[in-house]
Amino acid sequence: MAQPLRTRRDLLRLLILISPSLLWLVIFFLLPLLLVFAISFGQRGTYGGVQWTPTLANYARLLDPLYLRIFLRTLFIAGTATVLCALIGYPMAFFIATRPARWRNAFLLLLVIPFWTNFLVRMYAWLFLLRDNGPINVLWTEGIHAAVAWLAAAIPAPFWEPLLQATSTPLRLFGTDGAVIVGLVYAWLPDMVLPCYAAVERLDPRLVEAAQDLYATRVRAFLRVVLPLTRSGLITGSVLVFVPCVGAYVTPDLLGGARTVMIGNVIYSQFMMARDYPFGSALSFVLMALMLVATVAYFRLGGEGGRGRG
């Protein structure tokens, strides 16, 4: 449908259509992007401003074990969340795809409703659940504790004592890596399920039957037929989950407490507390590079077009 520019009038039309967006994106996206890149080679001024003496010191500082550890931890948390999303989301795609046709859309809608709700609210729901005097811990220290005490009175045995002790104090759920991972999986699970579902739905069941007619075992038919044919969905889903997890700020900030720090939190503190813009810029640039590596790897692995941010 796209036609080449034949006349001056065509060129004028094109300019009227695209130049407002082009200008907006150049001024408020491209220029800021280049600015961050330039400033990442600058130095922090005495009063928090930027000194334009080129240096590689900010990037050298990233090799400090303190920051290396934070990078590794970020990759570990994002990677674990992605793997968990795949383990939970891939079978879920099969679950939805095997429902009767008239129910499928309802299940898909139920999947995306949380996606349209406010991100902060979804993270707050977990903060509320996991905190020391939240519902889970109330159940633990009141309900389970009472049950154990009742059992201990009914059947005397030596092993009740440690159990009574354990249930008398709240579980440490909030403020751990685990809490952050749960929050990330909760936030991005639909991003894994939807591309997997699209791949599973396209799968021709006759191919699986053919494999079984040729005496392939169930496991073999899955590994040699189903998995290769749905691989693209898994790859797309993994990129859609991994990229926002690496750049996460709100989830570790709310659920991770003071101890779990990801790159996003370091970038925040460099900009808003330490006012070290050059170092914060270098960190942001490395974050974007990680995202770019993930996206390029994705195209290499043969995924398909992506979907939006959450």
Partner 1 sequence: MKLPNKARAGNRSRRASGLLRHGLTAHGVLCYVFLYLPILVLVAFSFNASRYSGLWRGFTLQWYEALFSNAALGAALRTSLVVALASTAISTVLGTAVALGLERFAFRFRPLMDVLLYLPIIIPDIAMAVMLLLFFVLTRVPLGVGTIVVSHVAFNVSYVALVVRARLAYFDISLEEAAQDLYADEWQTFRRVTLPLLMPGILGGALLAFTLSLDDFVIAFFVSGPGATTLPLRVYSMIKLGVTPEINALSSLMLLASIGLIALSGALSRR
Question: What is the nearest approach in angstroms of partner 1 to the Cβ of residue 158?
Answer: 31
Question: What is the nearest approach in angstroms of partner 1 to the Cβ of residue 155?
Answer: 28
Q: Which of 33, 60, 66, 210 binds partner 1 (CB under 8 A)?
A: 33
Per-residue 3-state assignment (H helix, E strand, C coil) for 256-295: CCCCCCCHHHHHHHHHHCCCCHHHHHHHHHHHHHHHHHHH
- Using CB under 8 A as the binding rule, whether residue 10 contacts partner 1 is answered as yes
Q: Which of 121, 214 has the CB closer to partner 1? A: 121
- CA-based nearest residue to 175, from 251, 265, 79: 251
Q: Which of 61, 73, 104, 122 binds partner 1 (CB under 8 A)?
A: 122
- Using CB under 8 A as the binding rule, whether residue 28 contacts partner 1 is answered as yes
Q: Round to the nearest angstrom and report the end-to-end CA distance of the chain.
A: 32
- Using CB under 8 A as the binding rule, whether residue 106 contacts partner 1 is answered as no
Q: Which of 12, 35, 60, 210 binds partner 1 (CB under 8 A)?
A: 35
Q: Which of 149, 203, 208, 250 binds partner 1 (CB under 8 A)?
A: 250
Question: What is the nearest approach in angstroms of partner 1 to the Cβ of residue 264?
Answer: 5
- Using CB under 8 A as the binding rule, whether residue 256 contacts partner 1 is answered as no
Binding mask 220-249 for partner 1 (x = CB under 8 A): -----------------------xx-xx-x
DSSP labels for 117-183?
S-HHHHHHHHHHHHSTTSHHHHIIIIIIHHHHHHHHHHS--TTHHHHHHHHHS----TTSHHHHHHH
Backbone angles phi, psi at 51, to 5 degrees: -105, 130
CA–CA gap between residue 9 and residue 3 (Å, rounded) = 13
Q: Which of 100, 118, 156, 273 binds partner 1 (CB under 8 A)?
A: 118
- Using CB under 8 A as the binding rule, whether residue 47 contacts partner 1 is answered as no
Distance set, CA 137 to CA 123, 127, 260 (Å): 18, 12, 21
Question: What is the nearest approach in angstroms of partner 1 to the Cβ of residue 213?
Answer: 13
Q: Which residues, 150 to 189, sit near partner 1 by CB under 8 A?
A: 186, 189
Residue 43's beta-bridge partner residues?
51
The footprint of partner 1 on this chain (CB under 8 A) covers a number of residues equal to 88
- Using CB under 8 A as the binding rule, whether residue 295 contacts partner 1 is answered as yes
- Using CB under 8 A as the binding rule, whether residue 63 contacts partner 1 is answered as no
In angstroms, how far is CA 309 from the centroid of its own chain?
A: 10
CA–CA gap between residue 187 and residue 112 (Å, rounded) = 11
